[in-house]
C-alpha cells in the first residue's frame, strides 16, 4: 500500500534507537524526509547513517539529525532552527524511572511531567497551526499501555502520560480536525528495546532472578507470547501518518500483543 506521504517532512523525537528509530525507519521507507532528535550525538549520527542506507532508492527521503534534549526549550529551539514546517511530528522521549511513589519529590514529578506531558504539548503547539494552514498534519505521541493498564512502579509514567492523553482527547477534536490535522497516541505494550531490557535488568537485580527468566515470565503473560519489535511499531506509526488515516483522530492505539484484557 502506498501511504501517500512521500516527500513530506517528519520530526521524529527520541529516534537514535528503540521505538523512535523504528518510526523514523518506517517513514523513511515511505519516502518521508526526516529530522531525527536524541541527546547523544554519536548514536544519533549512526542512526542517521542507518536511515540514509534504508532510504536508498527513494527519490525523496532526506535525513537530518539534531543532537538535543527535546524536553528543554533550548533543545526544541535547536530543532526548530533547522526547520519548523513539519507535516508529521512523532513525539517521544525517554520514559521516567520506575520506583515507589513515596520516594518521588516535587522535582522528580516535574521532570516526568516535563518530559512525558509538557514536551509533547509544546511540540504540538509549535507545529499544528502550520499544518492546519497547509491542510495536512499528523501528530503521533508515543505514550504507553500504562495509560490504559497502569503499572504500580511506573507511577510517574502513568500520571504524566494520562495528563497528555486528556489534553490530546480535547485538542484532537478542536477545529484542527476539520483542517486535515490528526492527533493520536500510540501506546506500546512490551517492545524489545533498550528501555525494556533496562527495566528488566532493574527488576532482575531486585529479585535475584536472571533477566532471561524474568523475560520468559513476561512473554508468557502476553497472548502473542513475545515482545513486539520496533519495526512493527514503526509500521503502525507510519500508517497513522498516512493519507489513509485521515479519519482517525483523538485515538489511543494500543500495540501490546493482546496483553490488555478488556473488550475495548
Contact residue for ligand NAD among 25, 33, 92, 165 (CB under 6 A): 92
Cβ atoms of residues 96 and 112 within 8 Å: yes
Of 164 and 176, nearer to ligand NAD (C-beta) is 164
> CA 27, CA 235: separation in Å to the nearest integer?
8
Could you say whether residue 16 binds ligand NAD (CB under 6 A)?
Answer: yes
The burial of 144, by beta-carbon neighbours within 10 Å (0-12 exposed, 13-18 middle, 19 or more buried), is given as buried
Alpha-carbon distance 179 to 100, whole Å?
43
Based on the shown chain and the rule CB under 6 A, indicate whether residue 111 belongs to the binding site for ligand NAD. no
Least distance (Å) from ligand NAD to the CB of residue 20? 5
Nearer to ligand NAD, 34 or 70 (CB): 70
Using CB under 6 A as the criterion, what x/- string covers residues 229-248 for binding ligand NAD? Answer: --------------------
For residue 190, state whether it binds ligand NAD (rule: CB under 6 A): yes
CB 18 within 8 A of CB 227: no
Q: Is 184 in the site for ligand NAD (CB under 6 A)?
A: no
Neighbours of 80 (CB within 10 A): 17
Q: Are 156 and 100 in contact (CB under 8 A)?
A: no
- Residue 221 sits in the site that holds ligand NAD (CB under 6 A): no
The answer to whether 215 contacts ligand NAD (rule: CB under 6 A) is no
Using the rule CB under 6 A, give the single segment among 24-32, 54-62, 63-71, 235-243 that binds ligand NAD.
Answer: 63-71
Site track for ligand NAD across 141-160, x = CB under 6 A: -x-xx---------------
CB of 15 to ligand NAD, least distance (A): 6
Identity of the residue, 15 or 245, whose beta carbon is nearer to ligand NAD in the bound complex: 15
Helix, coil or strand: residue 224: coil
CA distance 183 to 212: 37
Element (H, E) at 207: helix 194-207
Give the whole-angstrom CA distance, residue 113 versus residue 166: 13
Q: In this chain, which stretch among 33-41, 51-59, 206-214, 216-224 interacts with ligand NAD, using CB under 6 A? A: 33-41
Of 22, 263, 261, give the one whose Cα is nearest residue 145: 261
Decide: is 35 part of the binding site for ligand NAD (CB under 6 A): no
Classify the C-alpha dihedral 19-6-59-85 as positive or negative.
Answer: negative
- Tell me which H or E stretch contains 19: helix 18-29
Nearest position to ligand NAD, beta carbon: 95
Report the residue from 141, 182, 184, 193 that binds ligand NAD according to the rule CB under 6 A: 193
Nearer to ligand NAD, 20 or 176 (CB): 20
**In a 3-state reduction of DSSP, which class is residue 111?**
helix
Query: Which residues lie near ligand NAD (CB under 6 A)?
Result: 13-20, 37-40, 69-71, 92-95, 142, 144-145, 188, 190-191, 193-196
Amino acid at each position: 500500500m502506498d501511504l501517500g506521504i512521500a516527500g513530506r517532512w517528519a520530526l521524529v523525537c527520541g529516534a537514535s534507537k528503540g521505538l523512535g528509530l523504528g518510526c523514523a525507519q518506517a517513514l523513511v521507507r515511505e519516502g518521508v524526509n526526516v529530522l531525527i532528535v536524541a541527546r547523544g550525538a554519536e548514536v544519533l549520527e549512526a542512526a542517521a547513517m542507518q536511515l540514509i542506507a534504508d532510504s536508498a532508492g527513494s527519490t525523496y527521503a532526506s535525513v537530518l539529525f539534531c543532537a538535543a534534549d527535546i524536553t528543554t526549550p533550548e533543545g526544541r529551539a535547536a530543532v526548530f532552527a533547522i526547520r519548523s514546517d513539519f507535516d508529521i511530528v512523532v513525539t517521544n522521549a525517554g520514559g521516567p524511572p520506575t520506583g515507589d511513589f513515596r520516594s518521588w519529590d516535587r522535582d522528580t514529578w516535574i521532570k516526568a511531567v516535563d518530559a512525558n506531558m509538557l514536551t509533547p504539548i509544546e511540540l504540538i503547539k509549535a507545529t499544528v497551526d502550520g499544518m492546519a494552514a497547509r491542510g495536512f498534519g499528523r501528530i503521533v505521541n508515543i505514550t504507553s499501555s500504562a495509560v490504559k493498564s497502569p503499572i504500580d512502579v511506573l507511577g510517574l509514567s502513568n500520571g504524566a502520560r494520562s495528563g497528555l492523553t486528556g489534553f490530546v482527547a480535547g485538542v484532537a477534536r478542536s477545529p484542527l480536525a476539520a483542517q486535515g490535522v490528526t492527533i493520536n497516541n500510540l501506546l506500546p505494550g512490551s517492545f524489545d528495546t533498550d528501555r525494556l531490557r533496562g527495566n528488566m535488568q532493574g527488576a532482575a537485580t531486585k529479585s535475584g532472578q536472571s533477566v532471561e527468566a524474568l523475560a520468559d515470565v513476561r512473554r508468557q503473560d502476553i497472548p502473542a507470547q513475545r515482545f513486539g519489535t520496533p519495526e512493527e511499531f514503526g509500521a503502525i506509526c507510519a500508517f497513522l501518518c498516512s493519507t489513509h488515516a485521515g479519519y482517525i483522530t483523538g485515538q489511543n492505539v494500543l500495540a501490546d500483543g493482546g496483553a490488555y484484557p478488556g473488550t475495548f
